[in-house]
Copies of this chain bind each other. A is one copy, B any other.
Amino acid sequence: MALAAFESSPIKMDPKKAPQFTSVARRLAGANLQAHEWELLSSVLGHSLECRAGHDIEKKDTKPSRCRLVLMGFVGMARTLADGRRQMVDIHLPGDITACERLGGAQANVAFVCLTDVRYIDVDSIAQMVDDEPTLFPGWQKFLKDLEEEAHVRLIDQVVRTGRMVAHERMADLALDLFHRFERVGMTASGSFPMPLTQDVLGDILGMSTVHVNRTLQQLRREGLIRTTSNRWQIVDMERLRHVAGGNQSRPGGTTTH
């Protein structure tokens, strides 16, 4: 059991008492952190930060952080064009890091927008220590590297999504992507996953207008593929949804070529 490793770690943390840590716990459970690596985390875990929906993540008082670990909520990596059009380049969920700034972010000209109320911790100091002395923190190094690789693959997926898929394919593909990512951190329940985003924001993610998001969603609902409540989506027919997405979503160990 993944959580067991986390519970038996030097840092005592009961997921039932601190549910905001469960996603990160799932992630770190596979990282094989050593005792002194857990200590790194304990030094910052108490200082989780909050950012309200609609605001950019940014520390006004101190220097901007390059690396944050999301505990709760959705963070969007967004670029805004001169005329106001906005494109979400990537979405960060609980357990992800906003590590773009470690990879050329200075040139990227993107902002990290809280799409919901967000709770996160600043792990920039940890990242810097790991960068300086990678051999001292093998668990953290692998953890950070894995998260960055995943973000890289997500970017590639996002290019394909916006570049070559039509509306209902984009929507289906996104739903599957989010489902699998929430599944890994134990936040799914009977095929459903958190979806508190407005159709407006969904449009900025998928590169389409709000109205078209609405109509595309209706189509998927009408065909019995998904069900939506105010802050959750449920996948009703996984197999057909995959088919709509084109069978191209990267699922663990999935095959690809037709």
Contact = CB atoms under 8 A, between A and B. Distances in A.
Contacts of A220: none
Nearest to A254: B109
B159 A89 contact: yes
A201 interface: no
B86 A164 contact: yes
B107 A153 contact: yes
> How many protomers of this protein does the assembly include?
2
A85 interface: yes
Nearest to A252: B107
A193 to B, nearest CB: 20
A149 B107 contact: yes
A183 interface: no
B246 A83 contact: yes
Contacts of A138: none
Q: Choose among A83, A134, A156 the residue with the greatest number of B CB atoms under 10 Å from its CB.
A: A156
Contacts of A149: 103-104, 107
Contacts of A164: 81, 85-87, 207
A82 interface: yes
A158 B162 CA distance: 9
A156 B110 contact: yes
A104 B150 contact: yes
A133 to B, nearest CB: 10
Given A152-B152, A163-B87, A164-B207, A82 B158 contact: no
Given A79-B156, A104-B150, 7 more contacts: A82-B248, A87-B160, A87-B163, A100-B156, A107-B250, A108-B156, A155-B156
